[in-house]
Structure 1
């Protein structure tokens, strides 16, 4: 990519665009050059271990085969637990066990997890983790919304602590923070220093992905972080020009690259090709910068044949099951960022509405791409409502509501103090949770299809839901048969249908499997897996690269169907720019063909 690098490298972008692959490939390349490299993941859903084929934990450790490459996961749960311990330690002599338990429960929300994660992350910028021991420090960041939230925290908490010097909030006493205002300033100064820090905006040659990269670029600039590069991953070049699917894919990519958003066209751009294999392990990662290795791996024969590809029911059958014997309920799409949760949520919601059901389509994803797909329709079904849980809007709405309820009898000074208290970053978490709970409640009267944020965000939201559940049950003193919290609603497998979305690739499958394990631990059982963008579901492929990728899908799909999912549905890859109309047309045509037979 470049001949010289700054000290700190951040890889950020929309979920699923290949941030981890590019961050790992860069780390391996620099380590191969003899540089001492530290690779850090700040993603709650990190998969560094799978990509690098080495053990990665919450302590710095060397790669098993590349000794000058060091790795660490900043695990949000470990960070949060360590933070809670620091909060409770000075309070143990002054409070009873019951009081300490209550304080600990109050520190179990997503806000605590985020500030604890930032606290850990900042150590690698300020010098506490001896970054001078490494020539390059690379951050494989979480999906865009989470990353920007992480980067905005210094200013937000700096303001909060300045006005609450001895205060407490849902993060506990401010003294529990290892970070200080000076430390925050150090971090922000380092991130703004173009001789010290570079931001790599990773994207695909797709509208939604490039739009997200442009938004990220502007928001980073607003934060004073101007040293940026654009990396466009997975650019497809057809080999067999007689393959219509290949030609359409190449044309779509070329069209997007020729019309980059103006906010991105000013950046230096590097493109990387779509490869017929997954970038797992050192040699495959090295191939990203080595065309000779790319050719070698691309020409290796696959043991599978197209005839061995399993077939599964499609979305029409899934919608049949979702509406069977009911006219309401919650449907949630979950999975790794970039696997297609949004388009599948939009398609399922529209199909249900076209069948006459009252449907609310909403999202908890800060990136909120649902409207982009909905805008592709010339007309919405009369029974479909589209909304978005917008964090900033929900926060202001929540603040207005609290002020209206609690500020009625307060003096001007009292109202000012109340507003000041509501400036805590924790307020956004509470506000979004209220909106999330409201959507769940509406699912008792109609279908609510919810496109969730990438995996890490979803787990943090569910953690908040669980905390709320425990608090309600404790405070009401009522049995579970007399009250239903949002958490209990998610555990009701008839009411809440959780759809795990994956691609027919190793990393998304592993991510979805880990999410399924976490959900089951919380008493939430997924309804089905949906495998999206299956090339193996297409007939007549001619392009060698596409055929190899289709062949490679067989093992992944078989593993999901036989060992992970109770029900499996497959969605074919559609090379269309207006994807929602294309999906609806595809399934309408298929239904007509089935009826004709």
Structure 2
């Protein structure tokens, strides 16, 4: 199985015809996978890809959870069913659940910060650790997800910058807490405690921080384990998307995160009498050729641009089949005319 983490093609040697097959079958076969992140530039079809991937996983796994961590949640629109911060069974499935959450503390997710303030009894100490606000909220999300015991969790993430910040939280917090705990904790806690009147002792507060550090360390180890975690970049055959995909893969490599698959959406398969389609495909072909050179040691799955919008379980199910059975460019794909 490929566990590529760089876009540099391996020099020399013969590659078996199926080693880097243009499908997600390798992900379906890898039963040890626990976390699958799907991300990329805005507008490239991340949510459609996430939903389609989750549908295929539901065929081979006991239980699948699809989570949106994008503040502009789209899972409800994609499936035509309202989802909340609690897992809900997707209509028509027995083992596929969805939920929409905000993993960072902001005005739309005050409950996370409320929990964290209770945890420390005063926010001054918490805020003195770099990235603690995001990290603690992220930790709460991970605890929640882990307690649900789904066999695999798919994350429909926000655009690239937000996603990279989210994934870097475990490493950043690990360093931040280590630096913080190297200082004179008793002196810090006593000083701040006298100011804000906290009732917790330095030992209690240090135990809380140590517990948080342990949770983050566990998540960090899992994220860097290619048997448990992988990231699936999604792009379209255009310059900005290709550029951002390459940047994303390089950053994921620095984070020691596994990347095996790339999904290329919105590929035009022109009809003979469509001049605009032919011109568009000619432009796309240049970037498809570049991807072929850059990502020859990845599973690159090419998905067609369809005439109809991909919404609702029936349409998503049809589209999801193309992730495992590569489109030949000739077969006409007919989606249901109405999805509600």
CA distance in 2, matches of 1:180, 1:34: 31
Deviations 1:116-169 (A, max 9, x none): 5422343267x3x233xx222111111111111111111211121122235699
Q: Determine the structure 1 residue equivalent to 2:12.
A: none
Shift of 1:51: 0.6
CA distance in 2, matches of 1:32, 1:261: 30
Q: 1:145 to 1:234 in 2, by over 3 A?
A: same
Match of 2:115 among 73, 76, 86: 86
Write 1 or 2 for the structure with the bigger share of helix.
1
* 1:79/1:120 contact within 8 Å kept: no
Equivalent positions of 1:370-449 (< 5 A) are none
Match of 2:169 among 134, 139, 153: 153
TM-score, scaled relative to structure 1 = 0.42
Q: Determine the structure 1 residue equivalent to 2:143.
A: 123
Equivalent positions of 1:33-182 (< 5 A) are 33=60, 35-75=62-102, 76=104, 77=106, 80-89=109-118, 114-123=134-143, 127=146, 129-131=147-149, 134-165=150-181, 166=185, 180-182=212-214
Q: 1:275 to 1:158 in 2, by over 3 A?
A: same
Which structure has more RCO (C-alpha within 8 Å, separation ≥ 6)? 2
Deviations 1:471-498 (A, max 9, x none): xxxxxxxxxxxxxxxxxxxxxxxxxxxx
* 1:46/1:73 contact within 8 Å kept: yes
Q: 1:113 to 1:272 in 2, by over 3 A?
A: farther
Q: Determine the structure 1 residue equivalent to 2:317.
A: 286
How large is the Cα RMSD of the aligned pairs?
3.3
Q: Is 1:4 matched up with 2:4?
A: no
CA distance in 2, matches of 1:294, 1:63: 28
TM-score, scaled relative to structure 2 = 0.72
Match of 2:333 among 295, 298, 316: 295
Shift of 1:279: 1.5
Equivalent positions of 1:158-237 (< 5 A) are 158-165=174-181, 166=185, 180-237=212-269
Gaps of 5+ in 2: 1-23, 193-204
Q: 1:275 to 1:88 in 2, by over 3 A?
A: same
Shift of 1:263: 4.7
Q: Determine the structure 2 residue equivalent to 1:251.
A: 282
**Secondary structure at the counterpart of residue 297 of structure 1:** coil
CA distance in 2, matches of 1:122, 1:178: 17
CA distance in 2, matches of 1:91, 1:26: 39
* 2:139/2:215 contact within 8 Å kept: no
CA distance in 2, matches of 1:190, 1:90: 25
Q: 1:33 to 1:228 in 2, by over 3 A?
A: closer
CA distance in 2, matches of 1:248, 1:204: 16
Q: Is 1:266 matched up with 2:304?
A: no
Q: 1:271 to 1:124 in 2, by over 3 A?
A: farther
Shift of 1:247: 1.0
Gaps of 5+ in 1: 93-99, 303-597
CA distance in 2, matches of 1:34, 1:84: 34
Q: Determine the structure 2 residue equivalent to 1:14.
A: 41
CA distance in 1, matches of 2:135, 2:108: 9
Structure 1 runs, 4 residues or longer, greater than 6 Å off: 173-179, 291-294
CA distance in 2, matches of 1:220, 1:67: 33
* 1:11/1:23 contact within 8 Å kept: yes
CA distance in 1, matches of 2:61, 2:298: 29
CA distance in 2, matches of 1:15, 1:114: 22
**Secondary structure at the counterpart of residue 295 of structure 1:** coil
CA distance in 1, matches of 2:46, 2:133: 22
CA distance in 1, matches of 2:120, 2:231: 41
Q: 1:227 to 1:296 in 2, by over 3 A?
A: closer
**Secondary structure at the counterpart of residue 72 of structure 1:** strand
Structure having the higher Rg: 1
